[in-house]
Amino acid sequence: MNDYTVGVEQEFLLVDPRTRRPVPLAPEVRSLAHAPGDLDVQGELTPFQIEIATGVTSSFEELDEQVRGGRRVLVDAADAAGCRLVASGMPPIGEAGPPPGSDDPRYHQIEYSHRRLVSGQGSCGLHVHVGVSSKAEALAASNKVRAWLPTLLALSANSPYYGGEDTGYASWRWMVWSRWPVSGPPPHWDSPEQYDGTVDALIRSQVLLDKAMVYWDVRPSVDHPTVEVRVADIPQLATEVSVLAELVRALVVTETSEQGVDDVLLRAAYWRASRDGVDGLAADPHTGNLSPGFDRAVALVEHVGAALRDRGTLSTVERQIDWLRHNGCGAARQRRCPDPESLVDELIARTREET
C-alpha cells in the first residue's frame, strides 16, 4: 500500500544586505550550511541561488518541521557568508545571472544550446515530490493534477517585481520560466511508453540535453520514485510551503473521474493565474469562464477535502486559505511595500520569520 510520502525542495535567492541585489555566494553558503538529519543543501543553475531539500516525510507535522528547519539552516549560513536569504520567485532588484566565471560544463552546454534563454533565469520555485509506486502511477497523477495547476500557481504567486519595477504580473517567475521549450503544463499521458518516446524524441532534437531538462510543471522524478509538481513560486512563509505541499499530496491521493482539459484553455488559465494571482480573477480551464481566484481555491479544497480530512489537515488548510483571503498572496503582500529597497528588507525578514 502506498503511504504517499512527501518531500519538498525550496529555492532561494542570496542578496547583498546593502545593495539588495543578488550576489553569487552559493558556494560559500553551501560550505557554511550545517544541515541536520535528512536535509540536503544543493546548488542551483546560478550561484545567486541556493536550494534545500527535505527528506522523505510521512506526516504533515514532520514535513512542516523540516521546511522550517531547512530555512533556518540557510538563513544562518547566508548570515555567516555576509549575505541574506530571500524567498521570492524573482529578484526584485537586479538579476540573478549570468554566473560570473562559471566553470560548470553543464551550464556552458545549456548556454550554448539555449543561448539568450539562460540570461535572467535566476528564478526560485517550490518543488513538491509525492511518493508513487511506478512511472505509470506518476503519469496518472500528472493527469489528475493538470486542471488544478493554475490554482496552485495563483496561491503561490510571489514574484511581481523584476529589475526594480512592477511587471504587472503576480508571478513573473512563471512568465520567464515558460520560455523554455519544454515547460508549463505537461501533456495528458496515455502510458509510460508514450512519455518515454516523447522525451527521447526531444533529446534527439536537442531541445533537451538530457532528461533532467524536462521542465514541465509535473513530471516523474529523474532520481526518485516520486511525481514532482514544480508549478509554484517559492512562498514567503514556511507555512505556505507546507500547506501547498499538502494540497499537492491530496491531489495525488484523490481519485477523480474528471474530464481532461483542453491544452489551449489550460494555458490560458495559467496566464491568468500568473497575471492575477489568487487575488484577482481565475479562468476555469474547462470553460474559460472567469470567477474570483479564491473561488477556485475553495473549489480545490473541496475537491481534495476527503484526503485532507483523512490526514487530519483539512482545518489547517482551510485556515491558511482564509489567511490568504485576508492578507493576499505573496505578490499582493510585496506590492504593499513603498519601494524596492524596503521590499527586499521585508522579504529578508519574512523569510526568517517562521524559522
Residue ranges of domains in the chain:
6-114+123-346
Q: Mean pLDDT over residues 42-53, rounded?
A: 90
Determine the pLDDT at residue 1. 37
Determine the pLDDT at residue 99. 63
Determine the pLDDT at residue 110. 74
Report the C-alpha dihedral over residues 13, 95, 243, 301, rounded to 10 degrees: -170
Residue pLDDT, tens place only, 67-84: 999 999 999 999 999 999
Cell numbers given for 235: 512562498
Which of 99-113, 186-200, 273-287, 312-326 has the least mean pLDDT? 99-113
More confident residue, 110 or 353: 353
CATH number for 6-114+123-346 (one of 3.30.590.20, 3.30.360.10, 3.20.20.70, 2.60.120.10): it is 3.30.590.20
Residue 119 pLDDT level (bands cut at 50, 70, 90):
low
Share the mean pLDDT of the chain.
93
**8 Å CB contact between 164 and 242:** no
Determine the pLDDT at residue 34. 92
Q: What pTM did the predictor assign? A: 0.95
Residue pLDDT, tens place only, 258-294: 668 999 999 999 999 999 999 999 999 999 999 999 9
Residue 62 pLDDT level (bands cut at 50, 70, 90):
very high
